[in-house]
Structure 1
Amino acid sequence: MKTKKKKTIEVLDIMIQHADKGPSGFWVDDYEGCGNPKIFPEFEEGLKRGRLVQKEHYLCPWNTAVMYGNGRGNIHTGCYHSCSIEKAKYLSADMLKSILKRFKDSMSSGKYDDKDNITPLLTASEIEYIEDQEKKEKRLEEERYKAERAERIKRAAKLIQKYPEHKELFASCYGEKVLVQTYDGNIDFNPNGYADVVGAEKFTYDDYIDVQIRSFHKTRGWFATCFYNIPLSFKGTIERKTKDNICFERIFVEGMYPDGLCFDGKEEHVWMSLKGFEEYEIGDSVSFFADVYRYVKTSNGKQIDYSLREPRKIEKIENYKLPTDKELAEQAVNDIICETCYLGEQCNRISCLRPKKELGQLKREMTKMVMGGKKK
């Protein structure tokens, strides 16, 4: 304990000396943490490279339980789960010096040896000061948000006039680098988002937003899912072949979301460049990887759709029947039932424990719901 206290005091002395650079904690790890690299440059290594860098210490002055006393935070769970250094950032350099010296003296005198009975490190006036600063910051943030919202509404006036039902969306996102998922489809609000859309070279930003909205329910949904996530592979059977292009009767899509959850789906009648598929004939089934890209479709008014290009790792595979909508729905239903089953803790994932009649009825009802109005 004495060694830890001594090392803590050494670190505190440096913090006091550099209080004008803000508060600092004792560690950084995995690109985050409370250590202040302006005071301790070695913390920069942890923040940039994700490495653990820490200062040995007995107790941290910015632990919520230390700052506010018993009843706030939990000193036994460690700083990560009971940290109020964000509040300390409102304090002036002189206030930080005073608080750190007070903490240093209290720790040296043994005041914190009994961690079950801790009185507040902060004075009532310091607590009030922090609360006032928080309110002031919140008020300024609200004013800034209102001003930015008004500016976005002003800039999006033409789109709001055309799509009044999306006014709040424009007020929040117009001109921002955000992708919004609505019930009808995705809207990419990134001002530079249309730079990679083939055929959108003459688009304005408003054109880009407008075309995305007009493309709702008219895009290849599974290719769009791949575009915004991680495509893994594509499989299909060649239906037609021309001088420069081929058409797949159906392409089976396999991909993965960023959280590791996989998905699959299919798209009908997909045209691609013949390049890479020259040696294959009508009726051949192939698996391959390709880039998903967006392009402007003009056959029925301007719309943005998704397709595939730059195929690679092409392999001929055995002819097989790609899953139908119903088969894909049944697969999804099976996964949902397994993941949410009330017998999950007892199940070995090989033999289902639920009564066959109950399971069959549940599958039929859920498949019907998933299918909706789709053709079987």
Structure 2
Amino acid sequence: MRNKQDKKATFDAIDVMIRHADKGPSGFWVDDHEGCGNPAIFPEFDEGLKKGWLVQKKHYVCPWNTAIMYGDGHGNINTGCYHSCSIGKARYLSAQELKEILARFKTRMENGDYDCVDHISPLLTEAESRHIEKRISAEQRKHERCREQRRQERLKKAAALVAKYPDKESLLALHYGEKVSVLDYGGIILFDPASRRNVAGAEKFSYDDYLDVQFASLGKKDRTYFADCFFNEGMSRFKGQIERVKPKHICFKRIFFSGTYPDGTAFDGKEDHVWMDKSGFEEYAVGDSVSFCAEVYRYIKTGNGKLIDYGLRNPTGIQKIEAYNLPSDDELIMQDVEQLICETC
């Protein structure tokens, strides 16, 4: 009885697919914002895709199962569509081809061809299979041409930087002007033009100036622990002892903090001789130890050329704490060693 009901539901769905073949192929389900269901043909899939709900249409077998489309030796009809699906290739079929293939599938199902799946004849003809592969190849060549065109356009715009940093040509060809961050030897390059607005002192930089100073900063000694915090968290709890006080700024002898990587792994860090704006610290004096939260930010450091470095600003939750014995470099190294030992236990 169930097979009859499933077949009837499949026949009804196939008829709808044939009538709307100009809208592309459709499968029978969506879930977690993905799936093969085509909302242009079956509107009920639209809400499932938007809200991440499971929406599944009853069916006997799917014409886009790899085993159905290509026959014996392809896919596995017993694993279900999710693990044996070729609807991606079906999207390269024309509306007329879809109609013919769906009608063929319906006839075979009516004849009981899929009641026993020990042997499955290909639903696609050899010509249809060849057409799909030719269209896929043509699309790939088109994409490659577009990628190469964009690559040349980027190189043309970045010509001055390529001349100055020839070893960065491949990076510039791929990422110039793009909204990406790239880990390179010696540091991270932020290619997003908008990101320069968040660098203090770079307000009047051109995009090329911004990339130039980032390339120049690669491998230079900067505040690497603050950099870790900047790229992985943004806000942390800091502890430090005030070493110097000036009219508008204060200097911490050493700042110690703990942060967390995106995977949940905690890390400790320290930076020496950190200057900050005095705002918020007016009540404190040399020798005081304090705890506070702050934003790690990037700024242009001048002196021996312009470089990007990291500092702290916008402190909040400032609290005076008891004299804080900051860990020495050797103690921090031992903490790292102990953490590695624990991770391997």
Over 3 Å counting, the alpha-carbon distance change for 1:115 and 1:258 in structure 2 is: farther
Instruction: Report if the CA contact (8 A) 2:240-2:256 is conserved.
Output: no
Determine if the alignment matches structure 1 residue 218 to structure 2 residue 221.
yes
Alpha-carbon deviation of 1:318? 4.3
Give the structure 1 partner of residue 238 of structure 2. 235
Alpha-carbon deviation of 1:180? 0.8
Higher relative contact order (CA 8 A, sep 6+): 2
Three-state SS of the structure 2 residue aligned to 1:76 is helix
What TM-score, normalized by structure 2, do the two folds share?
0.90
Q: Identify the range of structure 1 (312-321 vs 243-252) with the bigger mean alpha-carbon deviation.
A: 312-321
Give the structure 1 partner of residue 66 of structure 2. 64
Give the structure 2 partner of residue 358 of structure 1. none
| Aligned with residue 48 of structure 1, among 42, 47, 50 | 50
**For residues 287 and 110 of structure 2, what CA distance do their matches in structure 1 show?**
83
Over 3 Å counting, the alpha-carbon distance change for 1:98 and 1:260 in structure 2 is: farther
Instruction: Report if the CA contact (8 A) 2:235-2:294 is conserved.
Output: no
| Aligned with residue 253 of structure 1, among 247, 251, 257 | 257
| Aligned with residue 285 of structure 1, among 286, 289, 310 | 289
Alpha-carbon displacement from aligned partner over 1:314-360 (angstroms, at most 9, x marks no partner): 34444443333443333333443444x4xx6xxxxxxxxxxxxxxxx
Q: Identify the range of structure 1 (158-167 vs 211-220) with the bigger mean alpha-carbon deviation.
A: 211-220
Over 3 Å counting, the alpha-carbon distance change for 1:124 and 1:310 in structure 2 is: same
AA aligned opposite 1:306: Y
AA aligned opposite 2:255: I
Alpha-carbon deviation of 1:92? 0.6
AA aligned opposite 1:176: E
Over 3 Å counting, the alpha-carbon distance change for 1:61 and 1:328 in structure 2 is: farther
**For residues 289 and 151 of structure 2, what CA distance do their matches in structure 1 show?**
52
**For residues 74 and 340 of structure 2, what CA distance do their matches in structure 1 show?**
41
| Aligned with residue 266 of structure 1, among 270, 275, 287 | 270
Determine if the alignment matches structure 1 residue 301 to structure 2 residue 305.
yes
Instruction: Report if the CA contact (8 A) 2:240-2:291 is conserved.
Output: no
Structure 1 unaligned residues grouped into runs of 5+ = 345-376
Q: Identify the range of structure 1 (230-239 vs 145-154) with the bigger mean alpha-carbon deviation.
A: 230-239
Instruction: Report if the CA contact (8 A) 1:31-1:46 is conserved.
Output: yes
Give the structure 1 partner of residue 93 of structure 2. 91
Number of aligned residues:
341
**For residues 264 and 210 of structure 1, what CA distance do their matches in structure 2 show?**
31
Three-state SS of the structure 2 residue aligned to 1:192 is helix
Instruction: Report if the CA contact (8 A) 1:25-1:34 is conserved.
Output: yes
Instruction: Report if the CA contact (8 A) 1:236-1:248 is conserved.
Output: no
Structure 2 unaligned residues grouped into runs of 5+ = none
Give the percent of matched residue pairs that are identical in Structure 1 and Structure 2.
Answer: 59
